[in-house]
Amino acid sequence: MAVTVRFAPSPTGRIHAGNIRTALINWMFAHAKHGRLILRLDDTDAERSTEEFAAGIREDLAWLGLDWAEQVRQSDRFARYDAAVEKLKAGGRLYPAYETPEELELKRKRQLARGRPPVYDRAALKLNEEERTRLEAKGCKPHWRFKLESRDVVWDDLVRGRQHVDAASLSDPVLVRADGTYLYTLPSVVDDIDLGITHVIRGEDHVVNTAPQIQLFEALSATAPAFGHHSLLVGAEGQALSKRDRSLSIEGLREEGIEALAVTTYVATLGTSDPVAPHANLDELARGFDFGKLSRAPARFDPHELRLLNAKVLHMLPFSAVAGRLSAMGVSGGEAFWHAVQSNLSVLADAAAWWRVVNGPLKPVITDASICDQAVVLLPPEPWDEQTWERLAAAVKQATGAKGKALFQPLRLALTAREHGPELKHLLPLIGKARATARLEGKTA
């Protein structure tokens, strides 16, 4: 069977780096296996889910280069969930329970006080028809629990190896709330069955959920997919990532100027045995994907480390990869300009500042007028190439006796108004003789 995986975000906010870890692992696995990724929008929460967030999720994934074969919305599939509920009721696996949240909390506290695990006591199963009728006549609406079989549930996790959970140690999960709305578990399992999901790859916070879900697959006459639970990303200080933290959202990172390839490379290699290093493209990442490389320890997402990686990604990008974006910023220096400034960029927007240095107008900084005046006299005729700067510096050195920093710094400040930057042998031909002459004379050009 062809590999089919899914990424299932809730459109209740913009996705962050932790969500992308799950999306990226699913995408790389499917890509490596020539399979398909389905984007499933878990939008059953009608109050918090919005089309704006759904569009934002698609925008973020597309920006990162993560494509999908199909998109489905849970809000379009309530008839399928209703049918599954009726099947579970008919099979005696779904039963009504009438305890209020307050009553359940009181039970939990009593069990903990007695040193017992806070597992639901199945009191609802002891109610007879007359008692249920009386409760409903009083206005009590039931929530519906899935009756677990008291047995060990075992699976071979793609990341964590052999896993087992004693279902007898778990509360029967609520699948349908008293108001008739669905919790996550039942729609997710029904979707996985209908969409032919072969592998469910998600965060380790879902490990315990797996045992009830496997039993639910079986109760619905389906074979459970393979499961893999990767470690979670945490913040640089070990804190959980949040949709409310804009600095870690994909939208926020994009607005900061972080490259999509830097984000995917960082998230894909973080918490693995591979070094955090730039990659040429997503295909290269997918070719190197292996569940065996994933560490079980939480991986720390450090924005500073991401920014350092972002610079390295920019330093290796060919001009063709950025030409359109440079043009949109008003930078028209072409490939020669890109190679001149590339190694000095932290974000691509920095290129615009260097284009202003090259193209002007720029107010020069004159710290040694005698050296600058001599340089004007010695400027050779154009055309200029990368050897022009070396010949000019050598001639000024011979004429003035200045050397080292005393020679180069006054010339750099006059030509660029900056103490540091790209090599002048690359910049000088781009600045050109007219602007260079004016700047060395102390004129804005």
Give pLDDT tens digits for 153-165.
999 999 999 999 9
Q: Confidence band (pLDDT; 50, 70, 90) for 238?
A: confident
Q: How far apart are CA 3 and CA 9, in angstroms?
A: 20
| Cβ atoms 230, 19 nearer than 8 A | no
pLDDT at 94: 98
pLDDT at 196: 97
Residue whose structure tokens are 């090599």:
423
The residues, ordered by sequence, that sit 6+ positions from 106 with a Cβ below 8 Å of its Cβ are none
Average pLDDT over residues 31-45: 96
- Rg of the chain's alpha carbons, rounded to an integer? 31
pLDDT at 246: 74
Backbone angles phi, psi at 333, to 5 degrees: -75, -10
Average pLDDT over residues 175-183: 96
Domain ranges of the chain: 4-72+183-234, 80-176, 235-316, 319-359, 369-440
Residue whose structure tokens are 């699913």:
26
Query: Token pair for residue 290?
Result: 């292996």
Query: Token pair for residue 25?
Result: 């692992």
Q: Confidence band (pLDDT; 50, 70, 90) for 236?
A: confident
Query: What fold is seen in the domain 235-316?
Result: Glutamyl-tRNA Synthetase; domain 2 (1.10.1160)
Residue whose structure tokens are 């042998």:
425
Query: Token pair for residue 255?
Result: 């607005």
The residues, ordered by sequence, that sit 6+ positions from 278 with a Cβ below 8 Å of its Cβ are 261, 262, 265, 309, 312, 313, 315, 316
Taking Cα atoms as reference points, which of 236, 251, 237, 283 lies closest to residue 65?
Answer: 283
Average pLDDT over residues 48-63: 96
Q: Confidence band (pLDDT; 50, 70, 90) for 138?
A: very high
Average pLDDT over residues 234-255: 81
Q: In terms of C-beta density within 10 A (0-12 exposed, 13-18 middle, 19 or more buried), how is residue 171 classed? A: middle
CATH assignment of 4-72+183-234? 3.40.50.620
Q: Confidence band (pLDDT; 50, 70, 90) for 235?
A: confident
pLDDT at 193: 98
Q: How far apart are CA 91 and CA 87, in angstroms?
A: 6
Q: How far apart are CA 195 and CA 185, in angstroms?
A: 15
pLDDT at 87: 98
Q: What is the pLDDT of residues 103-123, one digit of tens each?
A: 999 999 999 999 999 999 999
Residue 321 confidence (pLDDT) above 80: yes
CA atoms within 13 A on the CB side of 16: 19
Q: What is the pLDDT of residues 355-413, one digit of tens each?
A: 999 999 999 999 999 999 999 999 999 999 999 999 999 999 999 999 999 999 999 99
3-state secondary structure (DSSP) of residue 94: strand
Q: Does domain 369-440 have CATH number 3.40.50.10540?
A: no
Q: How far apart are CA 189 and CA 143, in angstroms?
A: 19
The DSSP symbol for 168 reads G
Q: What is the DSSP string of 333-373?
A: -HHHHHHHHGGG-SSTTHHHHHHHHHHS------S-HHHHH
Average pLDDT over residues 84-91: 98
Residue type, 192: D
Residue 243 confidence (pLDDT) above 70: no
From 42-46, 233-237, 341-345, 397-401, the region with the lowest mean pLDDT: 233-237
Residue whose structure tokens are 């569940």:
291
Residue type, 444: T
Q: What is the mean pLDDT of the chain?
A: 95
Residue 237 confidence (pLDDT) above 80: no
What percentage of residues in the chain have a pLDDT greater than 70?
99
Average pLDDT over residues 123-130: 95
Q: How far apart are CA 99 and CA 91, in angstroms?
A: 23
pLDDT at 70: 97
Please state the separation of Cα 441 from the chain's center in Å.
50
Taking Cα atoms as reference points, which of 69, 65, 68, 66 lies closest to residue 321?
Answer: 65
- In sequence order, the β-bridge partners of residue 228 are 201
Kind plus residue range of the DSSP H or E element containing 6: strand 4-7
Q: Which CATH superfamily is domain 80-176 in?
A: Glutamyl-tRNA Synthetase; Domain 3 (3.90.800.10)
Q: Read off the pTM.
A: 0.91
Q: How far apart are CA 157 and CA 163, in angstroms?
A: 6
pLDDT at 159: 96
